[in-house]
Amino acid sequence: MKRAVVLLTVFLLLFTFGCLEKKERNPPLISVSVDGEEGENGWYTGSLTVSINASDNESTVKELKYRVNGDMWKDYRMPVHLTKDGFYFIECYAKDGNGNEAFYNATLKIDATKPTINFTEFEEGYVYWRGKKAPPLRIPRDTMIIGDYTFTVNAQDGLSGCKKVEFYLGGTLVHEDSEPPYEWELERTFGVYNISAVAYDYAGNYNEIMVEDVQIFNL
C-alpha cells in the first residue's frame, strides 16, 4: 500500500512539473505595426515607421532585437524609419526570462517615385502630315495633325513596374494600353484639343505629359 502511495505521489509530481515545464516553453509574442501611406499591390508610396513589440504572459521579455536586409542585429529601442525606395526584409527576435525564443519576419516594399513617360515622336510646334513630321506652317509655331496619326509613348518604372498608359483627347479618356509599345491610333477627329497621356505604376503612382492646343484635321 505504501509503495502504491509513493508511486502515485511521484507520478503526480512528475505530471505537475511536466505541465509547468511545458507551459514555460511558450515563446514571447512578437507584433509589428507599420505606419505609412499604402499604395497598391502591397506597396507603400512613402517613408515608413516600423514599430516592434514583444509580450509574454508567463515571464518578462529580456531581449528584443531586429535587423534589416541581413544587417547586424540591433536592440530595439525606438521605431525604425525606412525612407528610401526598395525592398526591406525585416527580422525580429525576442527572448523571455525562461529562455524561450521567438522569431518574426516581414517584407516591406516602398515605391515613392513616379514612372517616367514621354512621347517618342510627337512634339509641340510641328506639323504631322499623315504621320510624317514637318516644320510648322506659320509663326507662332502651331502643333497640327493632318490625316492619320498614331501616338506612341515610352513609359517605364524601375521598381514596381509600369502598369498601364491612358490616352486623353481633351478631358476624355479615349484609349488604354497595358503593354509596350504603348500606342493610340487617332480616329476621325476635327478641332483643337489638348493631347495627354498618363502612366501608372503598380504601386499606384502616376505621371502625366501633355501637348496643348493641338489642331487636328483627320476627317
Domain map of the chain by residue range? 27-110, 116-218
For residues 171-199, give the mean pLDDT.
Answer: 97
The one-letter amino acid at 19: C
Of the ranges 7-21, 146-160, 202-216, which one carries the lowest mean pLDDT score? 7-21
The CATH number of domain 116-218, selected from 3.40.190.10, 1.10.260.40, 3.30.360.10, 2.60.40.10: 2.60.40.10
Give the three cell numbers for residue 47: 517613408
Tens digits of residue pLDDT in 116-144: 999 999 999 999 998 999 987 776 788 99
Domains 27-110 and 116-218 are alike in CATH topology:
yes
Over pLDDT 90: what percentage of the chain? Answer: 81
How many other C-beta atoms can be found within 10 angstroms of the C-beta atom of residue 121? 13
CA separation for the pair 143, 151 (Å, rounded): 14
Give the three cell numbers for residue 206: 502616376
CA separation for the pair 78, 130 (Å, rounded): 64
**pLDDT the model gives residue 24:** 59
Tens digits of residue pLDDT in 5-49: 444 343 444 444 444 445 558 999 999 999 999 999 999 999 999
For residues 172-180, give the mean pLDDT.
Answer: 97
Q: Which fold has domain 27-110?
A: Immunoglobulin-like (2.60.40)
